[in-house]
Every structure is written in structure tokens, then in C-alpha cells.
Structure 1
Amino acid sequence: MPVQHGIVGPVPEGVDPEEYDKLRRRVLWSMPSGLYVVGSRAGERRNLMTLNWATQVSFEPKYVAISVENIAFTHTLISEGRVFTLNVISREDRAIVRKFTKPVEVDEAAHTMNGFAFHDGRTGAPVLDQAISYVECEVRNPVDVGTSTLFIAEIVNAGFQQAEDTEVLRMEDTRMNYGG
């Protein structure tokens, strides 16, 4: 089927581009995804940010990938520091992810970001104390994917901080949507 290229990307011939773009967004939003808080660090600069584009991509070595917008402060820190944490959030703690969609206020004395306690992991990147579990990662391969970078990284440390059977937060548990 021939496609035309417009401001919304490839659109099937004979289809209204705006209607197709709306449909494509709804389809992409229907794909299940988790909501996480990613921790990053470069030097003394730290950040925590809500993220939903994350997945395991290899069994051996143990690799995960996250996609981060190129304009995000987190992107800068991961690019410079080459480490990040991926913090899994409880379904009961859904308010946490909203706190990290905005710029982070770090209180070094209290060791909090936006009012939530954290500790530095083995890589130096922040681990959210309320996370169910986390992985600490070292970037092995950043890949430019347009408006974002896919950071492919090896897990160098992991742990649980709550019961393993705690229900994890998913995008559909919130009124948030991102993507499409």
C-alpha cells in the first residue's frame, strides 16, 4: 500500500491524515506499559523523572532499554554519567509518578527529591526508597531514535525493597497518557 509522508508521518493513501493520527495515537495508548521513575546522575547533579518507555531487551547479557526525550534533563545526565536506575512503583503509590513529571527539587540535607526519600545506588544514580524494586544500569549503547534516545544498558545491580508480589503501577491505572 503506497504511503504519503506528511507532518504526522506515513499515512495510508485515501485516509484523512488528522483522523488517522488520532486513531494511531489511540492504538499506541492501548498498548500496555508500566510507569516507572528513572534516576540519573552526572557528577553531583541528580534527577528522578517519570518514564514509561522501558523494557528488558536481552537475556544474556541482562540488558534493559529506556527511551528518553532528547530535551529532558534526564537525557543530559544519562548521556554524561552513563548510568541510570529504573524504579518500579507500586499501584498504591500512583501519586509518586505525578511528582516526577515536573522539575525536581533536591533537598540534600533530607536526602529527598520532590519530598520523596532516595538513596544513592552502587552506580551513584538515585534509587527511590518507596520503589517496589529497582535495577541499576550502565549504558552500553545509546541509539538516536528521532526525538528521543534509546539507552540500552546492562543491569549491574538489582533489588526488591517491598514484597515481590506487590502490584506494579501501569499506565492504565492512571489518567495519564504519553506516546502516540
Structure 2
Amino acid sequence: MTLPESDDAMIRRVLWSLPTGLYVLGSVVDEVQGPWNLMTINLVTQVATTPRILGVSLESDSRSLEYVRHSGKAALSILAREDRAVVRRFVKAVEDVEIDTEGRPTRLSGVEVELTPLGVPVLSQAVAWLDLKVVTSTEFESHTMVFLAVAGARAIPELLEGSASERSVEILRMEDTRMNYGG
């Protein structure tokens, strides 16, 4: 079998075929005063087990990267497959913030949120979330790869039961939407 010579369009489509999850990354400048942001993200992977380190790739000119650099922390909301519609709310920076009487955010872009122990917003409907602290980063032309240590987590019981192939909760993936990113 002879493969066709590669061109830019083909390379992009091949890269789109790489399976990825679809998550929402929370960021904050100051956990008490904000501002807070949530961003749809698919470029996430665990890169080490000891210590537990995630790599997340953020556009170099994004508000999320600015906030993560400033505070040194982030949080990752992991969503159920059935929550695919909510990720569209966070493809652009958050402008609509509702706060409670104590000044904490309750909704970002109309979606209910809560703050992690590190003070970073996560979606209340997330099946799990990870609290993260920046370890280091590497800059590329279009994106910055940020490496974050897992500082804490929460998950619904159904996510923790059985093996990965037996779980009753399926995690949202890029292929569950009509979205694509990368390439």
C-alpha cells in the first residue's frame, strides 16, 4: 500500500483524528477578587505519575494563560458525555459573571460554578475536577504548554466504580461534538 504524499490539509486532518477528551479549564487572577475564567480545552494529558503532572496546551494570547501565569494555578472540569452542549459556552473568554453576596462567583457565562480549595472555578455539573498548581511551562509560537501538579480532586461516586471499561459515566470527548481543534 502506497501512502499519498503529505500536504498541510492532510496533516491537519490526521492530527484531528488523534483521540482527545473535551474539558473546561478554570483560571483566576485572585481567588478572592477574581477575575475568573473558564475555557474549553482538549489539549490535556497526564505526563507523569510521580508526581502527578498534567500538561495543558493554551493559546499563547489567551486570557486563561494570562490568569494561570499570574496565579500559578488552574482547575480542570471533567464532563459527562451528555454535557456536550455546555463546552460551547466557553470557547470565548467569560464576560458574564454572577457573584454571591460574599463576592464569590456562582455562574460564569450562565453556567453554575463553584470554587475549588485553591479558589479556582469549576463547573458544578462536572463529574470530576482536578485542582492544579503550575510547575513549569514551555512556549511555542502558537501555544504554551503548561505543566501542572495535581493538588486535589473530587469525583462523583459513579466515576470511581469499576474499571474504566465498566464505568456507567462516559467522559466527553472531542468526537462527541462537531468541534475540532488542532492540526
SS in 2 for 1:76: helix
2:171 match = 168
Instruction: Select the residue among 141, 163, 166 that pairs with 1:146.
Output: 141
CA distance in 2, matches of 1:163, 1:70: 36
**Offset at 1:162?**
5.9
Distance 1:162 1:91, change over 3 A: farther
State percent identity of aligned pairs: 37
Alignment of 1:1-180 (within 5 A): 20-43=7-30, 44-104=34-94, 105-109=96-100, 111-161=106-156, 163-164=158-159, 165=167, 166-180=169-183
Find runs of 4+ consecutive structure 1 residues off by over 4 angstroms: none
* TM-score normalised by structure 2 residue count: 0.85
CA distance in 2, matches of 1:33, 1:51: 10
* TM-score normalised by structure 1 residue count: 0.87
Unaligned runs of 5+ in 2: 160-166
Conserved 8 A contact 1:133-1:162: no
Conserved 8 A contact 1:130-1:161: no
CA distance in 1, matches of 2:65, 2:148: 14
CA distance in 2, matches of 1:103, 1:40: 11
Distance 1:162 1:127, change over 3 A: farther
Code of the residue aligned with 1:25 in structure 2: it is R
**Offset at 1:145?**
2.1
CA distance in 2, matches of 1:73, 1:150: 15
Aligned length: 163
